Structure 1
Amino acid sequence: MPIPNQKKVSRAVYLIFTKKYGLHIQPDASRYLEELLREETNVNDSLEKIVKMYQKRNEGKYGVNGIIVDKASVQDVVNMIQAATAAASSSTPFSQPDEILKENLSQMTLDEEVENIDVSQYLKVVDAFSMPSMQYDYHRKGFVQSSAKPSLLSSSDAKGDIYRDRFNLIRQRVLRNDSFLPPSLQIIDSDSYLKITPIKSLIGHDNEQFLLLGMLTQIEEGKVYLEDNDAHVELDLSRCKSTVGLFTDNCFILVEGIYGDDHIFHVDELGLPPPESRQKTTSVFGHIDFLGLPPLNIEESVLLREEKLNTNISFVIISDLWLDQPKILRAFRQVLEGYSRTIVPLAFILSGNFVSQPLMFSGTESTKYRESFNLLADTIAEFPNLASHSYFIFVPGANDPWAGNTLPRPPVPDFFTARLRQKVKRAIFTSNPARIKYCTQEIVVFREDLLNRLRRNTLIQGDNPQDDRDLTKPLIRTIVDQAHLCPLPLSIRPIYCAYDHALRLYPMPDVLILADRCDNYSTNYEGCHCINPGSFPNSDLNWTTYYPAIRDSERWYVVTPW
C-alpha cells in the first residue's frame, strides 16, 4: 500500500473526527496528527483508536471542552497509546499482564482496556537538592515557589527565615483542623472551638486564659520561652501537664494556661500541634508540585489500580550495610540469593553507614571504601535478575564521605561507585534524606539516629513511657506532628538553611522510613506507615520489607552461622 501523504491524512482527520464523531479538531491538533501519521500505512485505524481513547478519557465531559479537541489533548492520548505499546513489548517482573492486549497497536480496540503497565517505570527517586522550595505565604493563603537560587552558604537572615517558614506551615495546618474552625457566622460561640491567640495580644489581659501556638526556645539560660512571628513570652511549667512527645528546643507546641500579672504565661497543659492527613492536605493543595517531578502521561486512577493489583511488588529496606565487614556482606548475599529464587523486589533501599567506622579522608581509606563498593557490585552481579530489574537505592549515613555533618547529605560521590553503576542497571545514589515516588505513594527515607538525639535534647518531659523500647510512639508523633524530619536546634544538628524544605514532612508521606540504630519497628500514624528497619549488623541481621499494594510491612532476618 502506498504511503499516504499529508493531504490524505488531513482529509482522514476531518472525516473521522468531525464528520463521523462530531468533534471539532483545532488546526494545530490536526497538523500534529498529519505529521505523526504521514508515514502510517493504516491511517484510518490509527485515527479510530485515537478518537476512541479521547472519548474514553473525556467521558461525561462533553460540554464545549469535550467537543473541541486541542493539540495537548491529542498528545496526551498518543502518549498513552505509545506507553501501552512499549509496556506490551517489554518484559519485566513488574508488569501486570492484560489478557485483552493485542499483539500490536494496529490490532488494539481502545474501547477495551489497553494498559499493560510496567509499574517499575513509575518509580522516581527525588534528591533533596533538586526539590523545589515551596514556601507558605500567610497573606495569600497558599504556597509560592522561592525564586532565590539555593546556596550552601546562608545569609544572616536565613536562620530566622526557616523557623518562620516552619511556623507558618504548622499554623495554617492547625487552623484548618476541625477543632480550630469557627462555626457558621450566624452562631459564633467562643466555647465551641479552640481559638489561638497571638502572643503580642496578651498585653493588657492579665489573669485571663489563652491558647498559644509557638516555638519552644531558651532566650535566657535556665528559662523557657514560647515565641511566634511577632513576640515571645516566658513560660512557667511548674504545674504543667504534657501529652506524649519529645519536646526539644525549637520545636513547635500548643500551650494552654493563664497570662499572669507577672507577665509570665503559667502553663496548665501543652502538646504537639495536631497532624493533618495526606488526604486532607492534597484536597487543599493537590495542585502543588512539592517534589518537582515531570507530569505523568497516565491518570492517577490507573496508577492506583495498578498499585493495588501488583501484589508482588515489594521494597527491601536495610540500614547500616557495612561493606567493610565480610560477614555483613555474606549475610547480604544470602538476602539477595533468597529474593533471586522467589519474587524479585522492585527496589532495595540501602541506607548507610556503608562502613562500620567513620571514614578518614586519606588515600588509603578512600581506596578501601571504593573497593568495598566494587565488591558489592560483584556480589549483586551474581544475581542477574536482581541486577537487571531491581532498583538499588543508596542513602548515605554519617560515616560516609565527604559531606561533613550538615543536612541534607549529598550522595556518595561517583568516584567510589563507578563499577557498581556499571554492573547494576538501576543503581541510584541519592541524598539523605531522599524521597521515592512509586505510582501514587510517596516514601521518605531518612538515615539518622533520631531517638537518642531527641532524648538528649529534651527541654520538657512528655507523658512518655520510661522504657526505651516503648518510645516509638513519642518519636513518631514528634516527627510527624512537627512536619519536619529533624526538629532540633541548628547548633545541635546543622542544616543547610536553603534546603530546609527538603526535610519537611508536608504533605505527610504515605511511608516514612526512619533508619535508626534503635530497635526495628513498624506502625501506622494518621495514615502514614512508619518503619525503622533497625541496624542490620546490630539487630541480628534484621531488615524490613514493605508491600505497597497492602500498605504494610514485615520484619525479616537472616539465619547465618558465623
Structure 2
Amino acid sequence: MATARRPEKPSAVPSDLIPSSSPAFGTPVHPINPRRTASIRAPLALKPAAGSTVLPILLPPATLRPLAFRTFTKKHNLTLTASALHALAGFVGKHCGSGWREDGLAEKVLEEIAKSWKKCGGRGIVEGDNETLNSILRTLEGSMSAGTIIQGSTLGGQSSFNFGPEIAGQMTRPPLDSGTSFGMSSLEVEDKEEEEDVLTDPREWVKVIGAFEQPKLVYNVNQKHFEKSSSKPSLFPDPAHKTDLFRQRYHIVHQRILRNEAFQAPTFSTARSATLSRTGPAVTAQTNTITPIANLLGRTGSTHLLLGMFTVSATGALSLSDLTGTITLDIQHARPIPENGAYFAPGMIVLVEGSYEEEGGTTSTLGGSGGIGGTIGGKFVAFSVGHPPCEKRTATLGGAEEVDKNGLAGPAFGWTDFLGVGSQRATGSRMKKIASKLLGAEKAHNVVIASDLHLDVPSTLSALRTLLRAHTPDPTDAHPVYPLAIILMGNFCSKASLAGAPGAGSIGYKEHFDTLAYVLAEFQQLIAHTTLVFVPGDNDAWPSAFSSGATTPLPRKPVPQLFTNRILKTVAEANRQVWGVGKAKGKEGEVIWTSNPSRLTWFGVRGEMAILRDDVVGRLQRTSIRFNKLPPDVDDEMPYAPSNQQQGLESQDAMDLDLNRPAEPAWNQKQQEELDYDTQTARALTRTMLSQSHLSPFPLSARPLQWDFAHTLNLYPLPTSVVIADSEAPAFVVKYFGCTVMNPGSIGESGGRGRREGRARWVEYDIRSCTGIVRSEG
C-alpha cells in the first residue's frame, strides 16, 4: 500500500496563507477500501496506461494546502475553509493517488472544481458542508478514470458540469448576511470585460448596505485574522454575547496597536547593536510595551503602559479594565494627550502611562466584576492618558496609494472582505481601472448629504427645495451633471412620532411623507437621475412609539414602507416621464430606505462611507472625564511628563479642516488654543471616533446597542469617509488619517437664528477626490 509523501518544508511562508484550524496530518473523508488493489507505481518512464487503477492514499490537508491556495485563491479569487480543504484532500487522495503531485493530477482536478464552483454562482468562500461543493464532487467522481477527468464528460467552456437549476439557483444571489470574509466581490457582476462595457454609469457601481445585511466577522486571536461568525445574529442573543461585544472591540484595537511602529521591538537589542557598531555609539530605540493589568502584582513603584477600557466601579471609582483584570485609576496628576483635542469617557479604550502602587500590603482582591482576573489591589497612578494611534485604510487593506517606507510586510487584511463587496487583493486593481474609466476628471461626482429633515416644519420643506434646486442642471446644458446619491437623514419629525404627541400619530406621520413626495415631484429630472437614500432617526417609526424620542438601541431598522409608498410612486412616475416606458437599465432614479447606521460603497472596496444619525457630541460632553488643569508654573520636563507616547501622537496630529475656507496646517498646542470653539469640537469628535474605531464608544447604559449587530458600528478598517449627523454639533468637514469626517448639521438654518426662511445647509462629498465641503444657500 502506498502512503502519502512527507510534505516538503517550504523555503518561505507566504504572508497570506489560507486560515485553517486543521492539524498537519488529518483523516481523509473517504477511507481506503482494502478490497481495491493496484500495482506498485512504476517510474515516470514506465507509467501505467490511462485506464489503470489508482491506489488511494491518506493525503493530509496541510500537504494539499499550498496547491489548493495557488489554484483557488491566487487564480480564481476563492478561499477554502478548513472543512472544504479536508474534503478536497480526501477526494484527491482517493481518486488521484500518489501521483497527485508529480503527475499534476491534483492541479487539474482542483482547477475543474474551482471553475464549476464559480459557474454555479458560489460565494467567494468555499465551505466543506455546502451542498453545491458536494454535488460537484459527486459529479466529478463519476467522470474520473485513473486520476484524470474523462474529456467526453465535459460540456466545454469555463465549467464542465451542470448541477441543475435547483442548486445553481440557490447560489446565484447569495445573501449579504452570509458574511464571506475573503475572496471575490458579490456585486453580481462577472469578471469579464464585456460586463465592464455594459455598466457605464458610475451610479451602477454605488451600493447601499444596511446594518442588518452587513456580514459579521470576528477577530480570531490565535490565528490573527478575521473569520465569519459561526452563529447567526439575533435580536435575542445569548447573554455571553454582551461580553463578547467589548472583547471584540479590545482585540481589534490591540492588534492594531501592535502593528504600530512605536510598539514594535527592534530587531537587535541595544547591547547587540553597540557590539556591531564600529562608527559610533548605538542609538537607543525607544519601544512602548503594553503590560497586562494582572502582571502589575508584585511590581509596586514601577512604571508601565496599560491598554484598557475606562469603567466606573460599583463604588463610583474610575477604573481601567482589560482581559486580565481591573485596577483603580488615580488621575489626579494625569495629563490627557492632547490636552484639549479629544474626549475621554467611560467605555473608551485608552493607553495609560503611570506607576503601580500597592496599598497596605494587599496584593489582590479576587472576585471583582471588572475583568477575568478580578480587581487588582492597590491603584495605578496615571501620568498620561491618550487614545490608541489610528491606522490608515491603506495599511489595513492595501492599495495603490500605499507607500511602505520601512520595507515592512504588506497590508494586514488585504484578502478580507469586510462588507461583502470584495477584498482589496481580489478586486482592488480591477475596481481601480473601472473607476478611472468612469469617473472623469472634468466633472465632480458628488454625494449630497442633509440631515434633520423635519417634514412637519414648513421652513424645512423650503430648505429642501433650495437643496434640490441647487442640484438640478440647466435644461439647456448639453452634458448635465446630477449627484450620484442624495442622502436625507432624520429625524423626519420634530416630535417623537407614534408616541402620543399631538399631530404625530400614524396618520399625520404618513401625511408628512406624502408632503415630501409632492416636493420631490417638482424635480422630476433630478429624482429620475439620482438615488435617494433615507436614514431614520430616534423620532421615527417604529422605535419612537415606545421610546418617545429617547435613545433607542442601534442599529435600528428603516422607516416602514406603509408610510413611504407615495414617495416610491412619485419616483416611479418620474422615471416613466423622463425615460419612457422602456427602462434605461441602471440610469433611472431609485429610492432606498436603509437602516441607522448603514454603509455606502462605490466600486467595491474602492470607497466606503459609514453613515450614522446620532447626537454624539452631547453624549461625549455629558460623560467625558474632567482632568485637573496643570498650574502655570509647572515645567513640562516634570518626571511624570509623557515622553515617547506624546511625541508619537503629536506627529500624527495632522488634520485638515474644510469650513468653506482653505485647509489649515497641522495643528499644535498653540494653534489649537487660537481655534474657535466649533473647530475644536469638530476636531475632538473626529479624533475620538477614529481612534476608537467605533461609532459608539460608550457603555450600554449611555448608548444601548443590539449585541449581535454591534459589529456594524465598527470603523475598522478605516472607511474612506464617515458621516455623523449630529444636530448638536457644528457643520464641518475634517480629514484625519485619510478619512473624511463630515457633519451636515440641520438642513434648515432659519430656525432660532434669525435667518430668512428657505436657507439650506448640506455637505457635498466628491467620491473621486475624496473631499467634502459644507454648502449653504438660500
Decide which structure has the larger Cα Rg and report it: 2
Residues 239-288 of structure 1, C-alpha deviations (whole Å, 9 max, x = no match): 11111321111110000011113221111111001111111011211211
Match of 2:612 among 446, 451, 467: 446
1:524 is aligned to 735
Take 1:234 and 1:516, find their aligned partners in 2: how far apart are those partners? Answer: 33
Take 1:169 and 1:78, find their aligned partners in 2: how far apart are those partners? Answer: 33
Match of 1:134 among 208, 217, 227: 217
How far 1:366 sits from its partner (Å)?
1.1
**Is 1:307–1:549's contact at 8 Å kept on the other side of the alignment?**
no
Match of 1:292 among 390, 396, 420: 420
User: What pairs with 1:2-13 in structure 2 (closer than 5 Å)?
Assistant: none
User: What pairs with 1:492-531 in structure 2 (closer than 5 Å)?
Assistant: 492-517=702-727, 518-531=729-742
**Is 2:332–2:627's contact at 8 Å kept on the other side of the alignment?**
no
2:529 is aligned to 389
Residues 455-478 of structure 1, C-alpha deviations (whole Å, 9 max, x = no match): 101124499969642211111111
User: What pairs with 1:358-507 in structure 2 (closer than 5 Å)?
Assistant: 358-361=496-499, 365-403=505-543, 404=547, 405-424=552-571, 425-439=589-603, 440-461=606-627, 468-469=677-678, 470-507=680-717
User: What pairs with 1:89-488 in structure 2 (closer than 5 Å)?
Assistant: 117-185=200-268, 192-243=286-337, 244-262=341-359, 263-282=378-397, 283-293=411-421, 299-306=430-437, 308-309=439-440, 311-342=443-474, 343-361=481-499, 365-403=505-543, 404=547, 405-424=552-571, 425-439=589-603, 440-461=606-627, 468-469=677-678, 470-488=680-698
2:767 is aligned to 548
Take 1:387 and 1:123, find their aligned partners in 2: how far apart are those partners? Answer: 16
Aligned pair count reads 470
Moved more, 298-307 or 237-246: 298-307
Q: For residues 161 and 85 of structure 1, do their structure 2 counterparts lie closer, same or farther at Cα, with a shift above 3 Å needed?
A: closer
Query: Structure 1 counterpart of 2:777, which letter?
Result: V
**Is 1:150–1:498's contact at 8 Å kept on the other side of the alignment?**
yes
How far 1:308 sits from its partner (Å)?
5.0
Q: For residues 230 and 307 of structure 1, do their structure 2 counterparts lie closer, same or farther at Cα, with a shift above 3 Å needed?
A: farther
Q: 1:235 aligns to what SS in structure 2?
A: strand
Take 1:374 and 1:301, find their aligned partners in 2: how far apart are those partners? Answer: 41
Q: 2:508 aligns to what SS in structure 1?
A: helix
Take 1:250 and 1:432, find their aligned partners in 2: how far apart are those partners? Answer: 21
Q: 2:450 aligns to what SS in structure 1?
A: strand
How far 1:163 sits from its partner (Å)?
0.8
Query: Structure 1 counterpart of 2:592, which letter?
Result: I
Q: 1:309 aligns to what SS in structure 2?
A: coil
**Is 2:536–2:613's contact at 8 Å kept on the other side of the alignment?**
yes
Q: 1:488 aligns to what SS in structure 2?
A: coil
1:82 aligns with 2:194: yes
Q: 2:625 aligns to what SS in structure 1?
A: strand
**Is 1:130–1:292's contact at 8 Å kept on the other side of the alignment?**
no
Query: Structure 2 counterpart of 1:430, which letter?
Result: T
Q: For residues 85 and 238 of structure 1, do their structure 2 counterparts lie closer, same or farther at Cα, with a shift above 3 Å needed?
A: closer
Q: For residues 462 and 556 of structure 1, do their structure 2 counterparts lie closer, same or farther at Cα, with a shift above 3 Å needed?
A: farther
Residues 207-257 of structure 1, C-alpha deviations (whole Å, 9 max, x = no match): 111000000111133311110011111111111111132111111000001
Query: Structure 1 counterpart of 2:421, which letter?
Result: L
Residues 6-25 of structure 1, C-alpha deviations (whole Å, 9 max, x = no match): xxxxxxxxxxxxxxxxxx9x
**Is 1:199–1:212's contact at 8 Å kept on the other side of the alignment?**
yes
- The percentage of aligned residue pairs carrying the same residue is 34
Query: Structure 1 counterpart of 2:388, which letter?
Result: P
1:71 aligns with 2:158: yes
How far 1:482 sits from its partner (Å)?
0.5
Take 2:210 and 2:775, find their aligned partners in 1: how far apart are those partners? Answer: 28
Q: TM-score, normalised by structure 2?
A: 0.57
Q: 2:611 aligns to what SS in structure 1?
A: strand
In terms of fraction of residues, the more strand-rich structure is 1
Higher relative contact order (CA 8 A, sep 6+): 1
2:95 is aligned to none
Take 2:324 and 2:497, find their aligned partners in 1: how far apart are those partners? Answer: 45
**Is 1:250–1:488's contact at 8 Å kept on the other side of the alignment?**
yes
Q: For residues 473 and 492 of structure 1, do their structure 2 counterparts lie closer, same or farther at Cα, with a shift above 3 Å needed?
A: same
Query: Structure 2 counterpart of 1:335, which letter?
Result: L
How far 1:185 sits from its partner (Å)?
4.8
RMSD over aligned Cα atoms: 3.0
How far 1:301 sits from its partner (Å)?
2.3
How far 1:490 sits from its partner (Å)?
0.4
**Is 1:246–1:461's contact at 8 Å kept on the other side of the alignment?**
no
Residues 293-318 of structure 1, C-alpha deviations (whole Å, 9 max, x = no match): 36898812213424652533111110
Q: 1:279 aligns to what SS in structure 2?
A: helix
**Is 1:541–1:558's contact at 8 Å kept on the other side of the alignment?**
yes
Q: Structure 2 unaligned segments of length 5 or more: list them.
A: 1-107, 118-155, 160-183, 274-283, 360-377, 398-410, 475-480, 572-588, 630-671, 751-758
2:8 is aligned to none
Take 1:314 and 1:143, find their aligned partners in 2: how far apart are those partners? Answer: 33
**Is 2:495–2:504's contact at 8 Å kept on the other side of the alignment?**
no
